[in-house]
A = this chain, B = another copy of it.
């Protein structure tokens, strides 16, 4: 948010990145919309609120975006795309369900802590999307859920995870991560790293991660972490 003059005017071009004026204006409006939606909800926010937080007139907003709903959709799409990408990268990082789970839970947790303001908008304002956008975003959410579920199911099939309900356990993993966006505060006692570290331990417990350990001739199971 550099390069914004006192009067709120946007300079023609960003001097260091070469971004053009419309790009900067669009980014400013998105950033203002995230803050407003997070603070007052989609329905409690007017386009005037967003424009004025971005230092523009309401008319200027409509040069860049069709509607308040379009802003919500773009915020939601971008947030879900980031989450899907990090979940897929975590899944692709190893062939071992334990390592996959740790990578996904770590990145998912860190993301919901660091981006807690936009993550609240992304997760709590879904009902305000128009039907077409809602269907599109729901498909991305299902894809995110499916990635986690596949890791848990692969671990169960491979005998390294033990849970009576893999699908509900996968949902619980997602749920824990999403809810970080609700309670996380920068000024809190735990950093995003602290939370991600402990949540990795909890994730292994939630899926019942055990490795076969041969001891005194018997195959027995011992917890990976205790």
Contact = CB atoms under 8 A, between A and B. Distances in A.
Interface of A: 39-45, 123-124, 127, 162, 164-165, 168-169, 171-172, 175-176, 178-180, 182-183, 190, 194-195, 198-199, 201-202, 205-206, 208, 210, 221, 223, 226
Contact of A175 (B40, B42, B179): B179
A109 to B, nearest CB: 11
Closest 7 CB pairs of A and B: A43-B44, A41-B41, A40-B43, A44-B44, A179-B179, A205-B205, A175-B179
Contact of A201 (B124, B164, B183, B201): B164
11 contacts: A40-B41, A40-B44, A43-B45, A164-B198, A164-B201, A172-B198, A172-B202, A178-B182, A179-B182, A202-B206, A210-B226
Contacts of A178: 179, 182
A206 B205 contact: yes
A195 to B, nearest CB: 7
A203 to B, nearest CB: 10
A42 B41 contact: yes
Nearest to A207: B205
A175 B183 CA distance: 8
A156 B45 CA distance: 46
A123 B205 contact: no
Contacts of A171: 183
A34 to B, nearest CB: 15
A198 B169 CA distance: 8
A127 B205 contact: no
